[in-house]
Structure 1
């Protein structure tokens, strides 16, 4: 059947894609789950990483160094959100909106235009092996190794005293100061790390696809949330290891769903609507089952 054949042909491509975007889903998971800090900055940090990386590569920088600077730019974006929230006592969602809105202009300034091509430029993939760009199997291998290394590094960090402090801030921010844990420090660290991962994902994407665009992060947050929800449904989040695995497994499954939808003839522009409905149903139905009536009824109860 044509639909099945099309889906099977897309599986390896979307699996490689999911491994790249797994870094973004990790970046979404850290503030949402470990810090209990709903953060929207990743939607701006992802294109920031891509734009910074592209601009530096076109300026003649070594691609590895450009990718590292892109990671640092993402860290700075996350810390900016944390500082706005802590210093001005703004809602975390509003702080994230302010930052990723500002980053649109920053990205335009960084690149000097809305998009740039990197087809003839150097990249980390060309430096490792030019064959990577033309081989989906090699892309899966490279991205898979990067994901495993990142997971091991995060697992090690969260098992340390510093990682425990970060988790305490997320579990009980009121208790943290009495334990000698600085709320500001670990909020900055957590959001910085999270958005650094998102920016790192953006840097990888632009080097693989050969162009950068300031609008490349549009809708990314809802995709990441859908991936996270799927991953947590499959592996759970009772332990730190499961919580770290959820973004990777969820991204892999989510992007296969996307492939299936495209194979069935779903228009690409409809994917955002389908994803939003899916996240709403996944997050909303359990709450309705637990709560019963409407919020207005509860107020009058």
Structure 2
């Protein structure tokens, strides 16, 4: 037991830094699913796109933070493309996301010119804190945490504005929003583009953290983000905008601590995706199973 606890404690700094980076991807999943009622898979392609764009930018002498902004811009275009395909051609949101994600794989290869690219020697955004004497892991925690806090604050302010409220109205009822004079196309394309930007920004942060970019880095990231979002909503709630915005960040931190515990007790890393998939399945199937159990009692009460 002592060995398990010590192994878990040793993993906390690393997983905390990773969770703060993952929180941007969880946010990218939350915005389409919860705010816009637009089930979307583009994040799985936008995440490696951001990493590839950031890596190429760093290799060409672009400073670390502008490289992240370029990543976000590329992700924004990817998200806008998905929304446009859905709105213009009436293709289902999931299929539109799959099409864009599939095309992004080839685009990522074109951007980097190969499947993976090391950036160990290039300047990173974390170096500005490392120079103050903090170790690499704690520098990543500080920078990623500061960026996450800033984004959380800005999103809460944004969704309190007229345009932010309009975006939420489109997600609640697009027909009613259009009847009220809201531009549904602009709100949808802007919202999905924003989600893609966050996913790509997270990808850029990740490659600056690990020191290399890979076109396959996004494989399975969507299911991890969904699991983190469900955990965050279960813990924080989603009754208000502030809670809904906080849920991705809290969920990402808790999710990675659960991953740390699984690794500490000896679960092979290769089995983590199975465990995550089973967890998401249970979370999704739970309401249906509870309804089946309570349905006979409700019918009996109706007869009485």
Q: Which runs of 4+ in 1 moved over 6 A?
A: none
Match of 1:119 in 2: 120
1:132/1:228 CA distance change after superposition, 3 Å: farther
TM-score by length of 1: 0.94
1:265/1:33 CA distance change after superposition, 3 Å: same
**Which runs of structure 2 are paired with 1:14-93 in the superposition (5 Å)?**
14-93=15-94
| CA displacement at 1:293 relative to structure 2 | 10
SS at match of 1:116: strand
Measured in 1, the distance between the counterparts of 2:120 and 2:144 equals 20
Measured in 2, the distance between the counterparts of 1:65 and 1:249 equals 27
| CA offsets 1:79-130 (integer angstroms, 9 cap, x no match) | 0000111111011000000001110000000000000101111222224544
Q: Is the 8 A contact 2:129 2:139 kept in 1?
A: no
SS at match of 1:145: helix
Segments of structure 2 that go 5 or more residues without pairing to the other structure are 296-304
Match of 2:181 in 1: 180
Number of residue pairs aligned between Structure 1 and Structure 2: 294
| CA displacement at 1:262 relative to structure 2 | 0.9
SS at match of 2:117: strand
Q: Is the 8 A contact 1:133 1:139 kept in 2?
A: no
Match of 1:210 in 2: 211
Give yes or no for the alignment of 1:222 onto 2:223: yes
Match of 1:196 in 2: 197
Q: Is the 8 A contact 2:130 2:136 kept in 1?
A: no
Q: Is the 8 A contact 1:125 1:133 kept in 2?
A: no
Match of 2:7 in 1: 6
RMSD of aligned C-alpha atoms?
Answer: 1.6
Q: Is the 8 A contact 2:140 2:209 kept in 1?
A: no
SS at match of 1:229: helix
| CA displacement at 1:290 relative to structure 2 | 1.9
TM-score by length of 2: 0.93
